[in-house]
Amino acid sequence: MALYEIILGVLLIIVSVFIVVFVMLQESKQQGLSGAIAGGSSDTFFGKNKGRTREAKMARLTKYLAIVFFVLVLGTSLLLAFFR
């Protein structure tokens, strides 16, 4: 096994563990019956400042981690395909 394979494998494991942790820490998006009737309006103070909350930051970080994960997987598979 080459050194780059080990490094990329360890990075993939670390990023995947972080994705699992951040997804588990986020709250559920289900609004129940009140959300279905009211339509989930964002006219409240919380709705207008949603991008600044902890949940929004965690959701954004989860998206970035998912992008990093897919780039690492694609890079690893391309490296293994061309250098083996």
CA 84/CA 82 separation, integer angstroms: 6
pLDDT at 46: 57
pLDDT at 28: 78
Q: Is residue 73 part of a domain?
A: yes
- The verdict on pTM exceeding 0.85 is no
Give residue 59's identity as a one-letter amino acid code: A
Q: Are 69 and 12 in contact (CB under 8 A)?
A: yes
pLDDT at 39: 57
Q: Is residue 13 part of a domain?
A: yes
**Domain count along the chain:** 1
Q: Can you give the residue range of the structural domain that contains 15?
A: 1-25+54-84
Q: Is 32 exposed, middle or buried (0-12, 13-18, 19+ CB in 10 A)?
A: exposed
Q: Is residue 65 part of a domain?
A: yes
Instruction: For residue range 3-41, list pLDDT tens digits in order.
Output: 988 999 999 999 999 999 999 998 877 665 565 565 555
| Mean pLDDT, residues 32-56 taken together | 63
